[in-house]
Chain A
Amino acid sequence: METAVFIVCALIVLGGALGVVMSRNPVHAALSLVATLFGVAVLFLNLGAQLLAVVQVIVYTGAIVVLILFVLMLLGVDEDEDLDTEPIVGQRMIAVLVGLFFAGAVLAVIIVGKDAAVTGARSATEAISPSVSNIVQIGRQLFTTYVFPLELTAGLLTIAVVGAVVLSRRPKDLQPIPEPESMTELGDDPLTTTPGEAAH
């Protein structure tokens, strides 16, 4: 049963992730992201992390994706992107190679090392207990072992809120960012070529 749930969720997670990377329309990418996040939430349940599964659905799909979609609609940038032209030549091939190299390296460690790939002391802070509920255990650790990091996250969130207000405040004299000087005049070869230039 656990294996069956894992296989179904893994397919949903990977399909959603590919949808995020490959969809032309940013709204479709955001909806694919929702599929991935739900799949990860079910995988959390499968691993016995009930509280995290609920928080994942509420915080990620309920807040973060909605925030992203809101900004997407607010800015009106929800039209299709042109993904056929490749502005930097060879970028995609190199990016895919880097991704394959990373995934291959980690998979090799997992396949070769098996369970020995995971090192470290067992139950260093608190063993997962089947009799005590998940929430009680996480709360106890948050307010004992991890109380100082918890205080720091309060500061981080305050800074983030203040920073967002400062960044998105409308300045009095709004100047459009000027087009940067031509890089070729500065003795620097251009990184990008427009399709028109590439033709001749």
Chain B
Amino acid sequence: MSPNLPLAYLALSAILFAIGGVGLLVRRNPLVMIMCVELMLNAVNLTFVTFGKMLDDISGQVIVFFVMVVAAAEVVIGLALIVALARRRPDANADDLRLLRG
């Protein structure tokens, strides 16, 4: 067993977070953007569990629960916004929503 496996987990999380961030910046479909946010949240969860293992502390796993609750709430509100939007503009993407632009 490699002694530096926790560091490999951290590296994987960093790459996963970056992929999610790039997707969020590039994609225009609001649903795919929500999926990219989920990717980033999962990268953070993996980091928390790895830190918990490295520092020998159960709190790393407890905090992941709170992140999951926030992720669930975020998805619920995000999907409600998308449904409300799709009723008015069925084929709108994220670029079309510029009514709030100053």
Contacts and interface: CB of A to CB of B under 8 A. Distances in A.
Interface of A: 1-3, 6, 10, 13-14, 17-18, 20-21, 26, 29-30, 33, 36-37, 40, 43-44, 47-49, 51-52, 55-56, 59-60, 63-64, 67-68, 71-72, 74-75, 77, 81, 87-88, 91-92, 94-96, 98-100, 102-103, 106-107, 110, 114-115, 117-118, 120-128, 134, 137-138, 141-142, 145-146, 149, 153, 156-157, 159-161, 163-164, 167-168, 170, 174-177, 180, 183, 191-192
Contact of B42 (A40, A68, A127, A160): A40
Question: What's the dominant secondary structure at chain A's contact region?
Answer: helix
Interface string B62-85: 101110111111011101111110
Contacts, number: 255
A117 to B, nearest CB: 8
Given A60-B38, A138-B61, A115 B75 contact: no
Contact of B35 (A1, A33, A157): A33
A38 to B, nearest CB: 11
A17 B89 contact: no
Interface in B7-51: 7-12, 14-23, 25-29, 31-32, 34-36, 38-39, 42, 45-46, 49-51
